[in-house]
Amino acid sequence: MKLLSLLAPLALVSIHAQAEDWPQWRGPSFNGSSSEIHLPTSFSPDRDVVWSTPMNGPSASTPIVLGDKVFISSVDRENQSIHAICLDRISGKILWQNKVGDGIRRDDRSNFSSPSPVTDGKLVVFFYGNGDLIAFDLNGKQIWKRNIEEDYGQFAYQWTFSASPLLFEGRLYIQVLQRDQPVHDRGKDGAESYLLCLEPATGKTQWRHVRATEAQAESREAFSTPMPYQINGKWQLLIAGGDMLSGHDPATGSEIWRWGTWNPTRIGHWRLVPSPVAGAGVVLGCAPKKSPVYAVKPGSGNMDEKGLAWASTDRNVSSDVPTPAFSDGDFFVLSDVSKALCRVSPEGVVKWTFETPGRIKYEASPLVADGKVFIVNFNGDVVVVSAADGKLLHQASFGTSEDKQVRSMIVASHGQLFLRTDTKLFCIGKTVGSSGK
* Phi then psi dihedrals of residue 274, to 5 deg: -65, 140
The sheet that has 64-66: what strands, in order across it? Answer: 64-66, 69-76, 81-88, 94-102
CA neighbor of 138 nearest in space, from 155, 125, 149: 125
Q: How many domains does the chain have?
A: 1
Q: 300 lies in a domain? A: yes
> Is residue 5, in this structure, part of any structural domain at all?
no
Q: Are 167 and 125 in contact (CB under 8 A)?
A: yes
Q: Which of 25, 139, 23 is nearest to 84 (CA)?
A: 139
Which CATH number do you get for residue 69? 2.130.10.10
Q: Which of 386, 365, 262, 268 is nearest to 319 (CA)?
A: 365
How would you write the pLDDT of the chain (437 residues) with one tens digit per residue? Answer: 444 444 444 443 344 445 899 999 999 999 999 999 999 999 999 999 999 999 999 999 999 999 999 999 999 989 999 999 999 999 999 999 999 999 887 777 788 999 999 999 999 999 999 999 999 999 999 999 999 999 999 999 998 999 999 999 999 999 999 999 999 888 899 999 999 999 999 999 999 999 999 999 999 999 999 999 999 999 999 999 999 999 999 999 999 999 999 999 999 999 999 999 999 999 999 999 999 999 999 999 999 888 999 999 999 999 999 999 999 999 999 999 889 999 999 999 999 999 999 999 999 999 999 999 999 999 999 999 999 999 999 999 999 988 889 999 999 999 999 999 999 999 999 876 655 44
Rounded Cα gap, residues 12 and 19, in angstroms:
11
User: How far is the C-alpha of 316 from the C-alpha of 350, rounded, in Å?
Assistant: 9
The Cα 11–Cα 7 span in angstroms is 6
C-alpha closest to that of 368 among 29, 16, 15: 29
Tell me the β-bridge partners of 381.
397
Q: Is residue 129 part of a domain?
A: yes
Residue 370 lies in a domain: yes
| Residue 53: CB atoms within 10 Å | 18
Residue 2 located in a structural domain: no
Residue 437 lies in a domain: no
Asked whether residue 375 is assigned to any structural domain, the reply reads yes
- How many Cα neighbours within 13 Å face the side chain of 435? 21
Assign residue 429 a region (left: φ > 0; alpha: ψ between -120 and 50; beta: otherwise). Answer: left
Whether 193 maps to a domain, the answer reads: yes
160: containing domain: 17-429
3-state secondary structure of 345: coil
